[in-house]
Amino acid sequence: MTRRLAITALLGLAAAATPRAAPAKPPAAGTKTAVKLVPYEVQPGDSCWSIALVVLGEASRYGEIPYCRDKQPHVIPPGTIIKVPGSLRPQAKLAWLQRDVKAKPPASVDWRRARPKMNLWRLYKVSTGGKSYAGIAFEDRSSLRMRERALLVIYGASAAATRLSRAQKHSVRVLAGAVRGGLAALDAQSKPLALATPSADVEIVSREMLLEVDRYQTSRVSVYDGHVGVKAQGAKVKVKRDYGTYVKKGQKPAKPRRLPPPPAWIGAARRVVLTTAGHSTRFEARWQSVKAARRYRFELARSRDFRSKVAVAVVGAGILRFRAQALPAGHYFARVAAIDGVGLEGRASKVLEVLIATLASSRRLQLGKDGVAEASGLLLLSVGGKDASGLELSLDGGPHASAVQPLRVRKPGAHVVHARFAGVAAAADKDAGFALRLLPVRTAFKVAAKTLRAGARHVEVEVILRDSKRRPVALPGLRVQAHPGGSAPLQAVAAGKYRAQVALPTDMSVRRVHLTVSWVGGDLDRQHVDIARAPQVPKKTPAPPAAY
C-alpha cells in the first residue's frame, strides 16, 4: 500500500500559536451592517471552526458566521447551506478525477474521498493513489494535473498568507509526485503561478510545464512553453522552453539543460484495429529511439486530453514498444516521452489515435487453436455503429471501400481484412489487419431411393453439412430444387442434419429428375433420381361374338 505523506500545514500556524480571540459579537438590533453574506454548502467533516479558518482566515472568528452564533454544538450536517461573510471564492476546484483521489480539509483528521467540482480552500490537501489522477482548476483558468501518488497543499492567495510576491496569483505546495500544467494564457496581464516544493520555489510563466518531487525531495522542472523561474538556497535560474533543471534538497538549482526531443512513432499516426463481438484484441505501438533517453513514459487513454488513462508505463531505454491487450472497442489515444539521465522528461510525442472497431459478421466466428477467427460458408463483414461511415475496409490487400457496405468473403482459405480511416493512406501495420479463415463446407447429399416408381409425387432427401474439422455447420437459406419439379426448404432435424420432401413433376414422360441443394451463398451439391416407366397393361382383345 502506498504510504501517504503526512504534511504539517505551514500556514495558519501563527493563528494557532496566538491566544484565542473572543468570538465576534453580533451587531446590535437595528444596526445596519455592511458585511455581505454569501451561501456556503457544508462539507463532510466541517465545523464552525474549520469553516471560519477557510473563509475568514482565522478559526477564532467563527462568531462572525450567523449559524455558529445561534446553533450549538458547532458540528453542522453535511449539505447544509449556511450564510458566511465575504465574497466567497475557493482558491481552486477539483475539475476532474480518476480512481483514488482524496481530499483533506485543514481542520479534519481524516482524508475523505474527493468528488468532481469539489471546492478546494486554503490549506486543503489533495492526494492521488496508484494509477489515479486529478485536475485542479483555478479561477483564472490556470490548471494543474496531478499524476499518480502525488500530494499537494492549496495555500492562500494573499501575499501575507503565502509570504510570496503580491504579483503571484496562487500558491500550491507540491509535497510528492508530479503535477503538470500552467497558466491559461501568456500575455502582458499574466501573473506567475507560484508553486513550492520541499527543495525549491517555482514561479511559472508557462502554459505547460512539469514539476516532479521524488522520495528524496529532489525537485525536477521541465518546461514546454514560456519560462519558469526556480529558486533555492538564494540562487535562481530561468528555465526556458524545451529546457529543464533539478534541485536537490538543501542545494542550489542545477544549470538548465536541454530536454530530450519527443520520440517519433513508427507507422501511421491514426490507426484502425479490428475485432469482433465477444473477442478481445490488442495493438502494438512502436517508436524510434531517442539518443538522450534513459527511460520512456508511455500513456494510453480513452480521451484526447488524457484524463481517462487506461495504462501508464515507464520502461527502460531498450524498450521501444508497448503492447496493449484485451481492450474493448472504442477510441484510444497514446503518447510517449523520453526521460534523460537526471530524470527530466521531454516533450511528449504527437498523439497516436487508435480506433478499435467491431467487425460485424453474418456468421458466428470461432477462434481456432492458433487464435485465428474461423467460420464456414459465405461471410459478410461490416463495421457497425457510428464508426462505419468514417472507415474503409479491404480484403487481402484489394481496393478499399466504405465499411458501411458489407465486405463479401466466399473463397475458402486464409484471409486478412484491412481497415483505415476514410481517405487516409494507412502505412502497413500488422495490427491493422484482421486475420480470418474460411473453412470449406463438406456436403453429404442422400436421397431415399435412386429409382422411384412411376407416379411418385415426391422424393425424400437428407443433407448433412460439416466443415473441414468435421464440426456441424448451419447455413442460411438451405433448399433443395428439383429440375423439373418443385423446391422445398431443408429443415434441421439435428446439428448439421437437414431433411426435406421435394415435389416431383406430374409429367409422366419424365424419366430423370435432377436435385440441387443450395443456400444463399450458392449451390452445394447435386444428385438425381430416376423414375421408372409405368408398366404396360396389355390391351384385351374382345372375344368374337358367339356363333348362333
pLDDT of residue 1: 39
What pLDDT digit, counting tens, does each position of 494-540 carry?
Answer: 999 999 999 988 887 888 999 999 998 889 999 999 888 777 666 67
Cβ-proximal residues to 84 (8 Å cutoff; 6+ apart), any chain = 37, 38, 39, 40, 51, 55, 56, 65
User: Taking phi first (over 0 means left), then psi (-120 to 50 degrees means alpha), and beta for anything else, what does residue 397 get?
Assistant: left
Cβ-proximal residues to 276 (8 Å cutoff; 6+ apart), any chain = 358, 359, 360, 361, 365, 373, 434
pLDDT at 115 over 80: yes
> How far apart, in whole angstroms, are the C-alpha atoms of residue 68 and residue 62?
6
Indicate if 204 and 249 belong to the same structural domain. yes
Indicate if 251 and 266 belong to the same structural domain. no
pLDDT of residue 72: 61
> How far apart, in whole angstroms, are the C-alpha atoms of residue 474 and residue 489?
13
Percent of the chain with pLDDT over 70: 85
Say if 190 falls within a structural domain.
yes
Please give the grid coordinates belonging to residue 548.
Answer: 348362333
The more confident residue out of 30 and 272 is: 272
What pLDDT digit, counting tens, does each position of 148-159 carry?
Answer: 999 999 875 432
Please give the grid coordinates belonging to residue 3.
Answer: 504510504
Please give the grid coordinates belonging to residue 513.
Answer: 429428375
Indicate if 240 and 341 belong to the same structural domain. no
The more confident residue out of 41 and 296 is: 296
pLDDT at 335 over 90: yes
pLDDT of residue 148: 93
The more confident residue out of 170 and 532 is: 532
Indicate if 324 and 215 belong to the same structural domain. no
Please, what's the b/e burial string for 244-261 (b: 16 or more CB within 10 A of its CB; e: otherwise)?
bbbbbeeebbbebbebbb
> How far apart, in whole angstroms, are the C-alpha atoms of residue 209 and residue 500?
75
Say if 471 falls within a structural domain.
yes
Instruction: Give me the chain's average pLDDT, please.
Output: 83
Indicate if 268 and 407 belong to the same structural domain. yes
The more confident residue out of 44 and 435 is: 435
pLDDT of residue 417: 92
Indicate if 399 and 446 belong to the same structural domain. no
Say if 548 falls within a structural domain.
no
Q: What is the CA radius of gyration of the chain?
A: 39
The more confident residue out of 1 and 305 is: 305
Residue 134 binned pLDDT confidence (cut-offs 50, 70, 90): very high
244 in Cβ contact with 222 (< 8 Å): yes
Residue 485 binned pLDDT confidence (cut-offs 50, 70, 90): confident
Query: Does the predicted TM-score (pTM) go above 0.85?
Result: no
Indicate if 430 and 512 belong to the same structural domain. no
52 in Cβ contact with 86 (< 8 Å): no
Burial of 57 (0-12, 13-18, 19+ CB in 10 A): middle
pLDDT of residue 386: 79
Indicate if 192 and 53 belong to the same structural domain. no
Indicate if 254 and 267 belong to the same structural domain. no
Please give the grid coordinates belonging to residue 111.
Answer: 482524508
What pLDDT digit, counting tens, does each position of 455-473 carry?
Answer: 888 899 999 999 988 999 9
pLDDT of residue 27: 47
Please give the grid coordinates belonging to residue 41.
Answer: 454548502
pLDDT at 192 over 50: yes
Residue 454 binned pLDDT confidence (cut-offs 50, 70, 90): confident
pLDDT of residue 547: 66
User: Shortest CA distance to 285 belongs to which of 306, 302, 303, 264?
Assistant: 264
Residue 74 binned pLDDT confidence (cut-offs 50, 70, 90): low
What pLDDT digit, counting tens, does each position of 362-383 carry?
Answer: 888 888 888 888 888 888 888 8
Which range has the top average pLDDT, 20-29, 321-330, 534-543? 321-330
As a residue count, the chain comes to 548
What pLDDT digit, counting tens, does each position of 209-218 carry?
Answer: 999 999 999 9
pLDDT at 21 over 70: no
pLDDT of residue 545: 74
CATH of the domain at 478: 2.60.40.1930
Say if 483 falls within a structural domain.
yes
- DSSP string for residues in 15-52: HHHSPPPPPPPPPPTTPPP---EEEEEPPTT-BHHHHH
Residue 433: give the domain boundaries: 261-439
**How many domains does one find in the chain?**
4
Bridge partners of residue 529, in order along the sequence: 513
Torsion of CA 31, 34, 36, 42, to 10 degrees: -40
What pLDDT digit, counting tens, does each position of 396-449 carry?
Answer: 988 988 888 889 998 899 999 998 888 776 554 554 588 899 999 999 999 988
Long-range contacts of 525-529 (CB under 8 A, 24+ apart): 525/443, 525/445, 525/463, 526/445, 527/445, 527/446, 527/447, 527/461, 529/447, 529/449, 529/450, 529/451, 529/452, 529/459
CATH of the domain at 400: 2.60.40.10
The more confident residue out of 239 and 41 is: 239
pLDDT of residue 204: 93
Neighbours of 410 (CB within 10 A): 11
241 in Cβ contact with 223 (< 8 Å): yes
pLDDT of residue 366: 83
User: Shortest CA distance to 277 belongs to which of 164, 420, 373?
Assistant: 373
Cis peptide leading into residue 73 (ω within 30°)? yes
Percent of the chain with pLDDT over 90: 42
pLDDT of residue 45: 72
Indicate if 290 and 352 belong to the same structural domain. yes
Residue 491 binned pLDDT confidence (cut-offs 50, 70, 90): very high
Say if 546 falls within a structural domain.
no
Indicate if 273 and 401 belong to the same structural domain. yes
User: Taking phi first (over 0 means left), then psi (-120 to 50 degrees means alpha), and beta for anything else, what does residue 287 get?
Assistant: beta
Q: Helix H segments across 41-163?
A: 48-56, 66-70, 159-162
